[in-house]
Amino acid sequence: MDNILLQMKNVNKQFPGVYVLKDVNFELEKGEVHALLGENGAGKSTLMKVLGGIYSIDKGEIYIDGQRVEVKSVKDAQDLGISIIHQELVLVPYMTVAENIYLGRELVGASGLVDKKAMIREAQKLLDSFELKIKASSLVVGLTVAQQQMVEIIKAISFNAKILVMDEPTSSLTDKEVEFLFSTIVSLKRKGVGIVYISHRMSELSQISDRITVMRDGEYIGTKVTKSTTKDELISMMVGRELTNYYTRTYNEPGETILEVKNLTREGILKDVSFKIKKGEILGMAGLMGAGRSEVMRAIFGLDPIDSGEIFIEGKKVDIKDPNDAMRYGIALVPENRKEEGLFLIQSVKFNATLKVLDKFMKFIKVDKKVENDIVNKYVKEMSIKTPSTEQLVGNLSGGNQQKVVIARWLATNPKVLILDEPTRGVDVAAKAEIYLIMNELVNSGVSIIMISSELPEIINMSDRVLVMCNGSISGNLVRGELTQEKIMHYATGGM
Ligand SMILES: Nc1ncnc2c1ncn2[C@@H]1O[C@H](COP(=O)(O)OP(=O)(O)OP(=O)(O)O)[C@@H](O)[C@H]1O
Ligand SMILES: [Mg+2]
């Protein structure tokens, strides 16, 4: 059994009001990619934070190379060769990329002082070796979320750890970056590094993992060899039942045009983007990363300026200068990245979910507790937001449940046009099915939905119509019935 690198035995962890880990077992071999799978809030990140010395263990044992170890701090974990890429971004925004990579282990020169130049030089070498166009001397705050994620990955790898944990590493990466990450994983495996890989993208797990351990409600359910299991088997282990009706969609005759966009142009980013959406319609937006889909939506929502173009709501030309204008016209946008959107992590679920609708229950500045509670309880229930109470701090929720709070917050504004940018990213299968169900209910009640998604099956199964974008313009317009992955990819890659 000398191939076993890590064993976690009967691990228990409780937080006030929540029993998060109940006798969980986990094992990792040298050179193995072992995936951890489970619904939002199952306890995956917590298990890894116990391993990383971020949370103390209540009960249970950890063995590395057969030796019982105590991991009482992040430093302990590092000394034991454990490195973690966290689900949430933890870089320090107002420090340079180099300072972040060497945080806590700064390179010191002959004078005994921190050698900033050397740090920048070494960090640059690392970045270059991944062919990243990121400058080691730039401040983290100026990077895109995807770039920050890549810096996190590189930082974790630079510790030469023997156990590397990746908690949702690809949630904001482009396909090209994912490819890089996977080739890095393959070379780390060859060196004998053991990798714990957490992701809700099942296709990734079958591509990269050797074994998969499933957790449910803080309990260990089982471990399967990736090659000899199926998606259905894994889902039923995860959810505890078969998932029928994954995509819910009933079709109605769409109504009048609600939103029309004409010749939206922004120098170098968007070129003559024109489209319409009708009442009760789901309009899918497909395209490769960087095609300009989010940019169109940000422009409509008043987040980015435009150089020219017009927007009409119910036939009337409108001038949207900022998101407040957009919201007044009944437009809501659930952004691509909750990491960017910034939930107020130290506020409660209730506060976050109702932030956008405060005026609904502000009667003479006094908050109407009943209305507030009704709104919150409705969404916590409908979206199965896993939280001990609505008073819980959002920062204490699991990653996917935070995502649900962001969505709930926007649903609560009762929009006429709801723009969803990658709504199911980072969300577990059961929650995906819930989100599809809610989308279907919304369009049945007359709401129009624009859904940007990189998951073609989701686009194909949920949309009435699909616009495909390429290089800042619309390259294809397909209707339900003629939607196939091949056709969409054809237009996404600029096909005529
Ligand atoms: N610091 C904390 N205080 C209180 N509760 C917490 C804390 N951290 C996590 N929890 C709770 O523990 C449970 C498990 O959370 P965890 O983050 O481990 O889930 P996860 O499996 O990683 O989910 P996801 O797929 O959404 O990331 C959740 O119910 C969460 O709300
Ligand atoms: Mg998590």
- Contact 45/165 with Cβ under 8 angstroms? no
195/65 same-domain check = yes
Per-residue model confidence (pLDDT) at position 363: 43
Q: Are 294 and 174 in contact (CB under 8 A)?
A: no
Pick the ligand that lies closest to the CA of residue 15. 1
Cα Rg of the chain, angstroms: 24
Q: How far is the CA of 412 from the centre of ligand 2 (A)?
A: 25
CATH, residue 186: 3.40.50.300
User: Among 90, 85, 56, which Cα is nearest to 70's?
Assistant: 56
Q: How far apart are alpha carbons 121 and 135 in whole angstroms?
A: 10
Supply the range of the domain harboring residue 198: 4-81+161-239
Q: With respect to residue 19, please indicate whether it lies within any of the assigned structural domains.
A: yes
Strand order across the 194-198 sheet: 67-69, 59-64, 4-15, 18-29, 219-225, 211-216, 33-37, 194-198, 163-167, 82-85
328 and 476, same domain (yes or no): yes
Total domains in the chain come to 2
CB of residue 396 inside a 6 A radius of ligand 1? yes
Ligand 1 pocket, residue 402 CB under 6 Å? no
Q: Which residue has the tokens 């298990």?
A: 47
Ligand closest to CA 398: 1
Q: How far is the centre of ligand 2, averaged over its atoms, from the C-alpha of 472 (Å)?
A: 33
> What is the CA 393 to chain-centroid distance, rounded?
19
Identify whether residues 166 and 220 lie together within a single domain.
Answer: yes
Q: Phi-psi category of 382—alpha, beta or left, where left has phi over 0 and alpha has psi -120 to 50?
A: alpha
pLDDT of residue 130: 79
User: What's the CA dihedral at 288, 293, 298, 304 to 10 degrees?
Assistant: 80
Q: Is residue 399 located within the same domain as residue 327?
A: yes
Q: What are the CB-based long-range contacts (under 8 Å, 24+) for 483-487? A: 483/459, 484/460, 485/456, 485/457, 485/460
Q: Which ligand is nearest to the CA of 47?
A: 1
Q: Is residue 113 part of a domain?
A: no
Residue 485 lies in a domain: yes
Whether 150 contacts 130, CB under 8 Å? yes
Strand partners, 310: 262
Instruction: Confirm whether 303 is domain-assigned.
Output: yes
Q: How far is the CA of 76 from the centre of ligand 1 (A)?
A: 23
Residue 224 and residue 273 share a domain: no
Predicted pLDDT at 477? 95
Q: What is the pLDDT along the chain (496 residues), one digit of tens a residue?
A: 579 999 999 999 999 878 999 999 999 999 999 999 998 889 999 999 999 999 999 999 999 999 999 999 988 999 999 999 988 777 888 889 999 999 888 888 888 888 889 999 999 998 998 778 899 999 988 887 778 888 988 888 888 889 999 998 887 777 777 888 898 899 899 989 999 999 988 888 999 999 999 999 899 999 999 999 998 899 889 888 766 678 989 988 889 999 999 999 999 899 999 999 999 999 999 987 778 998 999 999 998 899 999 999 999 999 999 888 898 899 988 877 655 554 555 566 666 665 555 555 444 444 456 666 677 777 778 777 888 777 777 777 887 887 787 777 777 778 999 999 988 887 888 888 888 988 999 999 999 999 999 888 899 999 999 999 999 999 999 999 999 988 998 898 876 5
In the reported structure, the alpha carbon of residue 144 is separated from the centroid of ligand 1 by a whole-number distance in angstroms of: 26
428 CA: nearest ligand 1 atom = 25
Q: Are 288 and 427 in the same domain? A: yes
| Dihedral sign, Cα of residue 426, residue 338, residue 41, residue 163 | positive
**Substitution site in 12, 15, 216, 405 for ligand 1 pocket (most atoms within 8 Å of beta carbon):** 15
The type of residue at 176 is: K
Q: What is the CA 93 to chain-centroid distance, rounded?
A: 19
- Count the alpha carbons within 13 Å of 265 in the hemisphere toward its beta carbon: 7
To test ligand 1's pocket by mutation, which of 18, 384, 424 has the most ligand atoms within 8 angstroms of CB? 18
C-alpha–C-alpha distance, residues 328 and 320, integer Å: 9
The partner residues of 214 in beta bridges, in order of sequence, read 37, 222
Taken as a whole, the chain contains a residue count of: 496
Dihedral (CA of 57, 59, 63, 67) sign: positive
- Candidate of 386, 396, 405 to mutate for ligand 1, largest count of ligand atoms within 8 Å of Cβ: 396
Same domain as 474, residue 409:
yes
Dihedral pair phi/psi, residue 195, rounded to 5°: -125, 130
Domain membership flag for residue 335 = yes
Q: Which are the contacts of 116, defined by CB distance < 8 A and separation ≥ 6?
A: 98, 99
Q: Are residues 186 and 326 in the same domain?
A: no
Any ligand 1 atom below 6 A from CB of 397: yes
- Ligand 2 mean position, distance from CA 316 (Å): 44
268 with 225, same domain: the answer is no
Q: Which of 239, 270, 288 is the last residue of a domain?
A: 239
| Short-list 470, 466, 447, 495, CA closest to 285 | 466
Give a yes or no: residue 462 inside a domain.
yes
For ligand 1, atom 18, name the residue with the nearest CA.
Answer: 43
Residue after which a domain boundary falls, among 189, 206, 239: 239
In this predicted structure, what is the pLDDT of residue 364? Answer: 44
Does residue 86 belong to any structural domain of this protein?
Answer: no
182 and 309 in one domain?
no
Determine, yes or no, domain membership for 411: yes
Same domain assignment for residues 203 and 295: no
- The confidence score (pLDDT) of residue 478 equals 96
Indicate which ligand has the atom closest to the C-alpha of 386: 1
User: How many A from CA of 436 to the centre of ligand 2?
Assistant: 22
Considering only CA atoms, which residue is closest to atom 29 of ligand 1?
41
pLDDT at 349: 63
179 and 283 assigned to the same domain: no
Measuring CA to CA, which residue among 92, 101, 20, 85 is closest to residue 56? 20
